[in-house]
Amino acid sequence: MNTHETIDGYIAAQPASVRPLLEKVRETIRAAAPDAIEKIAWQMPTFWQGENLIHFAAFKNHLGIYPGDLSQTPFAEKLQEYRHTKGAIQFPYDQPVDYELIAEITAYRVRTVSLPAV
């Protein structure tokens, strides 16, 4: 099992063909969550802002995005074209990655963690 201390280390350890995609995902999330802290959590690149906002990870055939529970969000229709569970989305490497969707989900997560507790 590989463990990495930084997102840079995680990305550097991935196949060369996947690294540009991971860098683009990182940039996309960073733009949508500029105040978030980058770290490794659950052995995945993670953006944290009071709690884990979103994780991403490289797998053999897909990029995994883990934004937490999306079951009660406005993304249901957009997620229909991807394999997903309530807390994970798979973007196959043989299809274009929807960076705009990743940005929208990240911005949604920033808003939800920024809301005051009721």
pLDDT bracket for residue 118 (50, 70, 90): low
pLDDT in tens, 11-26: 999 999 999 999 999 9
Residue 2 lies inside a defined structural domain of this protein: no
Instruction: Decide: 78 and 67 in contact? Cβ < 8 Å.
Output: no
Residue 47 lies inside a defined structural domain of this protein: yes
Instruction: Decide: 93 and 86 in contact? Cβ < 8 Å.
Output: no
C-alpha atoms less than 13 angstroms from C-alpha of 48 in its C-beta half-sphere: 12
CATH of the domain at 69: 3.90.1150.200
Which amino acid is it at 100? E
68: which 2 tokens? 């937490």
How many structural domains compose the chain? 1
Q: At what angle do helices 99-114 and 19-32 cross, to 10 degrees?
A: 40
Residue 100 lies inside a defined structural domain of this protein: yes
Predicted local distance difference test score (pLDDT) of residue 117: 57
As a 3-state breakdown, the chain gives helix, strand, coil percent values, each rounded to 5, of: 35, 25, 40
The Cα 40–Cα 55 span in angstroms is 9
Instruction: Supply the range of the domain harboring residue 88.
Output: 7-113
Mean pLDDT of the chain, nearest integer: 91
Least confident of 8-17, 25-34, 62-71: 62-71
pLDDT bracket for residue 1 (50, 70, 90): very low
The Cα 29–Cα 24 span in angstroms is 9
Residue 51 lies inside a defined structural domain of this protein: yes
Residue 118 lies inside a defined structural domain of this protein: no
CB atoms within 10 A of CB 50: 11
pLDDT bracket for residue 77 (50, 70, 90): confident
